[in-house]
Amino acid sequence: MSKLDNIKQDLASKFNVANYKFVHAFGDDVLEIPKEDIIPVLRHFKATQRFDFLMDICGVDYPSRAKRFDVVYHLFSSKDSSRLRIKCAVAEGETIESAINTWVGADWFEREAFDMFGVVFTGHPNLRKILTHHQFVGHPLRKDYEADHQQHCTEPLPIHFNNEPGVDGSVLNDRYVPLNIGPSHPAMHGTLRVMVELDGETIVRANPEIGYLHRCFEKMAETHPYNQVIPYTDRLNYCSAPMNNVGYCKAVERLLGVDIPPKAQAMRVVLSELSRIIDHIIAVGTGGVDLGALSAFFHLFTYREKVYTLFEKLCGARLTVSMTRVGGMAQDTPEGWWDDVLAFCKDMRMQVDEISRLMLDNKIFIKRTQGVCPVTAAEAVQWGYTGPLLRASGVNLDLRKASPYYGYDALNFDVPVGTNGDIYDRYLVRIEEMRQSIRIIEQICKNPPGGDYTIRDKGIVLPEKKDVYGNIEGLMNHFMLIIKGLRPPAGEVYDATEAANGELGFYLISDGSANPYRLKVRPPCFAIYQSFPSVVKGSMIADAIATVASMNLIAGELDR
């Protein structure tokens, strides 16, 4: 019996499933149910522990349908790595019940669906805009909203705390000191604004405001051909851009039903693990700066630049690289590149040990981080944590082990797991992950697979330049693919990879045209950051700065 049949049998014992639709397509299990049943079904799955993670909630617009919107819930089980996508149709003017009382992590995801589509979630305590500004009119991901219609904000909101249910957030308490932290401040690691009320230096309440870097990546994806979306993915987590390229192309390839060659897989794994190293370098280095450890920052960034030099040798770019293509890679590795990567790993291994002694063994660093702003395993799962922060809280979940891809199951590496979920354990996990990434890279670079770096499907991959200029067949293939475009079959997939900050998911819907009909990104730090007010409440303001650094928030993927 398939997993979907098991789910159907399980639900049939509790619900009237006559009007439920069970679908298995493109490797995904999908359940379509009436919106009235969504909360009972979610509660049932959580209570029975069939699915313990609510990974994402998003909207999809179908203007020609009577029930215009789909509200889509992505569930995940850490026990068997199974996933389920639940869809509810909602008409214009209708509402759907909030899931926030079932999974607290539904908070920001529902606000995003409200902001982008206008879907109203009844019972949500703070249903207001989150990515667009307070003066914005309309809902940008609706199909009738023009992609080039920009609306500029002329004045910021005053300090407020509308994120606390049952409280008039515009009324400040005279006993406490209101303070803006960010968005124009190095301690906030990008365009992040946090409003706090302080009792001395203790945080009484906090309210993060995001969206300062929002450029509606998902709307741009709908207006560009599939391969032209790749440069936009670079700008999500720009600290580890190749991982975004890999995650997006992997989703498109799954919809196309193609497997990329072993060499392309190896190149993607090496680039992803190099990206993981430099992403953790930024997290550890800038986190040290926020605690007064400036030397670690300068020391680590030397090795970040060495990785950028490896990227540059491969594709000519350093930060935003666009190295992948649907079907494989943009080009082959240059002569000696694998050896250059091995030489870097040999050097980097010693530097990771040195930075561990410099920071993790430092008495001041230990006192500033151990036992500070801890998050328990149960809280992390509730909020939707993934990646190093989830593992720091004691949950052993890594998609490279749980749902292996690109040959990770054949590689020998360990998954570091913390015990306390505090700031110290987050850095401990990241530094150990750097060592494990070096192990992975060395195993591949010592014996890289041969063969081609891309598939040679004329309907997917452009011919090489020598063929375009050298023969009529190559010229015509190039012409037809450019004019017609890459066209995956109509359908939808959700595909996820283990990015540096956690699960990077792409929910891709194709209508058979040359552009994605809908591309939803599930950025790992979006779920993590929504927990910030709860995590820092009652802590010192200096601990809040350290917490932001340990979360490694990247505004590009947070705001999209």
How confident is residue 322, by pLDDT bands cut at 50, 70 and 90? Answer: confident
Task: Give the predicted TM-score (pTM) of the model.
Answer: 0.91
Q: What is the pLDDT of residue 435?
A: 92
**Cα–Cα distance for residue pair 363/202, rounded to 1 Å:** 23
Segment 292-320 shows an average pLDDT of 84
pLDDT for res 250: 92
| Residues 512-551: tens digit of each pLDDT | 898 899 999 999 888 888 888 888 888 888 888 888 888 8
Q: Taking the CB of residue 438, how many other CB atoms lie within 10 A of it?
A: 21
pLDDT in tens, 38-89: 998 888 888 887 888 899 999 999 999 889 999 999 999 988 888 999 999 9
pLDDT at residue number 506: 92
Determine what percent of the chain is predicted with pLDDT higher than 90: 24
For residues 361-372, average pLDDT: 85
Predicted confidence at residue 87, as pLDDT, reads: 92
Does the N-terminal peptide bond of residue 156 adopt cis geometry, omega within 30 degrees of 0?
no
Contacts of 321 (CB under 8 A, 6+ apart): 234, 241, 242, 245, 311, 314, 315
Token pair for 419: 């015990």
93 pLDDT more than 90: no
pLDDT surpassing 80 at residue 376: yes
For residues 187 and 193, the answer to whether their CB atoms sit within 8 Å is no
State residue 548's pLDDT score: 85
Least confident of 322-326, 335-339, 356-360: 356-360
Is residue 190 predicted with pLDDT exceeding 70? no
State the DSSP code for 67: S
Confidence category of residue 477, pLDDT binned at 50, 70, 90: confident
pLDDT at residue 541, rounded to an integer: 86
Q: Which of 223-232, 395-404, 476-485 has the weakest average pLDDT?
A: 476-485
More confident residue, 552 or 96: 96
Beta strands in 111-200 (DSSP E): 120-122, 177-181, 193-199
Give the 3-state secondary structure of residue 396. coil
In the predicted model, what is the mean pLDDT of residues 472-490?
Answer: 84
pLDDT at 282 over 60: yes
Is the pLDDT at 167 greater than 70? The verdict is no
Q: How confident is the model at residue 1 (pLDDT cuts 50, 70, 90)?
A: low
> What's the mean pLDDT in 309-332?
86
Q: What's the one-letter identity of residue 79?
A: K
* Between 517 and 11, the higher pLDDT residue: 517
Whole-number average pLDDT of the chain: 86
What does the pLDDT look like over 97-134, one tens digit per residue?
Answer: 999 998 888 989 999 999 989 899 998 888 888 888 88
Looking at 291-386, list the stretches that DSSP marks H as alpha helix, in order from N- to C-terminal side: 294-315, 337-355, 363-369, 377-383
Please choose, from the candidates 462, 368, 464, 374, the residue with its C-alpha nearest in 3D space to the C-alpha of residue 419: 374
Least confident of 161-165, 198-202, 388-392: 161-165
Q: Percent of the chain at pLDDT above 70?
A: 98
Please tell me the predicted confidence (pLDDT) of residue 256: 92
| 13 confidence band (pLDDT: 50, 70, 90) | confident
What pLDDT is stored for residue 274 in this prediction?
92
Q: Tell me the per-residue pLDDT of 214-268, one tens digit each, with 9 for 90 and over.
A: 888 888 888 988 888 888 888 888 788 889 999 999 999 999 999 999 999 999 9
Quote the pLDDT of residue 169. 57
Name the DSSP letter for residue 522.
Answer: E
Residue 336 is inside which H or E element, if any? Answer: none
